[in-house]
Amino acid sequence: MSTALVELQGVTKIYRLGEVEVPALRGVDLAVSPGDFLALMGPSGSGKSTLLHVLGLLDRPTAGRVLWEGRDVTRLNGGRLAELRGRRIGFVFQMFNLVPNLTALENVELPLVFLGVPGRERRRRAQEVLTRLGLGDRLRHRPNQLSGGQQQRVALARALVTDPALLIADEPTGNLDTTTGKEILGLFTQLNEQGRTIVLATHDPEAAAVAKARLRLRDGQIVGVER
């Protein structure tokens, strides 16, 4: 049996809001294999984001196990998880979430800073990825000097600069107009064709359509898989 990149086994996540316990995930089993392109779909509050966070090792399950390349990482300490995220996972957010006072190039360099990559090599790699995404002439621009689509491409470059095994995107087109959204989705398709494993969460059927498989979530459970 081929090892899944990341595998969730009976993952339950319960948030406590004061006295009230809110279950966000209820016994989810899911395996993401290398080369997959999954879209998580479902209404707000269905658990998409939570599932994405658990897959991205940003959040720990209340119950169940998370295996990363076959290794149980459920109880790994925060520093190890951070390092694993830094080396193996790239994140793209709906709000782009670039650091406002850094240039495009510096934003893309940031993950490499935390990995301790020397400055010269950092700049070379960041520049290369940005150029590949068509932002070679925007290296010194700050986020507020860039359009939404350009910002999302910088964010994508930041996610890709570490050459991650898994790319996670939370509503990556949610804040973009249709045309720009399509461009970004095109980039995702390209990346997957080059062998990148991608999981994205989305409301948008068009965005979900580019994925190889769609998972429907409701009330913290996967209720349908469509390939």
Partner 1 sequence: MIWDILRLSLRNIRHRGLRSWLTVIGILIGTAAVVALISVGQGLQRAIALQVERIVGYNTILVTARGLNLGQRIRLDIEAIRAIPGVRSAIAVRTETAYVEGPGGKGFLAVLGYDPPMEEFVAEMDLTVASGRPLAGPGEVLLGSRTARVLGAGVGDAVTIEGKSFTVVGILGAQRAGGFATGGLSLTDLLVISLPELRQLFRGPELVHYAVVRLADRADMALVRERIRDHLRAVGERNASLTDFEDLTRNIQSVIRGVQAFLAGIAGIALLVGGVGVMNTMYTAVLERTREIGVLKAIGAKDSHVLFLFLFESGFMGLAGGALGLLSGFGVAWVATLIVSRLFEAQGAFTPALTAGLVLGSLFFAFVVGAVSGLFPAVRAAKLPPVEALRYE
Query: Which is closer to partner 1, CB of 159 or CB of 210?
Result: 159
Asked if 126 and 204 count as a contact pair (C-beta separation under 8 A), the reply is no
Residue 89, amino acid: I
Using CB under 8 A, which of 65, 87, 182, 214 touches partner 1? 87
Asked if 6 and 180 count as a contact pair (C-beta separation under 8 A), the reply is no
| Under rule CB under 8 A, residue 86 binds partner 1 | yes
β-pairing, 221-226 with 166-170? unpaired
- Cα–Cα distance for residue pair 205/134, rounded to 1 Å: 26
Restricted to residues 146-205, the positions that interact with partner 1 (CB under 8 A) are 158-159, 162
Six-digit token string for 135:
């932002």
Minimum distance from residue 178 beta carbon to partner 1 (Å): 25
Which residues, listed in sequence order, are joined to residue 31 by a DSSP beta bridge? 7
Query: Which is closer to partner 1, CB of 18 or CB of 116?
Result: 116
Using CB under 8 A, which of 14, 31, 73, 102 touches partner 1? 102
| Under rule CB under 8 A, residue 113 binds partner 1 | yes
Q: How far are the Cα atoms of 28, 48, 81 from residue 186, in angstroms, in the given order?
A: 30, 22, 30
| Under rule CB under 8 A, residue 73 binds partner 1 | no
Sign of the four-CA dihedral 178, 102, 132, 159: negative
| Under rule CB under 8 A, residue 63 binds partner 1 | no
Q: Near partner 1 by CB under 8 A, which window of 110-118, 145-153, 176-184, 201-209? A: 110-118
Query: Which is closer to partner 1, CB of 101 or CB of 178?
Result: 101
Asked if 160 and 140 count as a contact pair (C-beta separation under 8 A), the reply is no
| Under rule CB under 8 A, residue 97 binds partner 1 | yes
Using CB under 8 A, which of 26, 34, 93, 219 touches partner 1? 93
Minimum distance from residue 161 beta carbon to partner 1 (Å): 9
- Cα–Cα distance for residue pair 139/149, rounded to 1 Å: 15
β-pairing, 20-32 with 6-17? antiparallel
Binding site for partner 1 (CB under 8 A): 53, 56, 58-59, 78-79, 82-83, 85-87, 90-91, 93, 95, 97, 99-102, 110-111, 113-116, 119, 158-159, 162
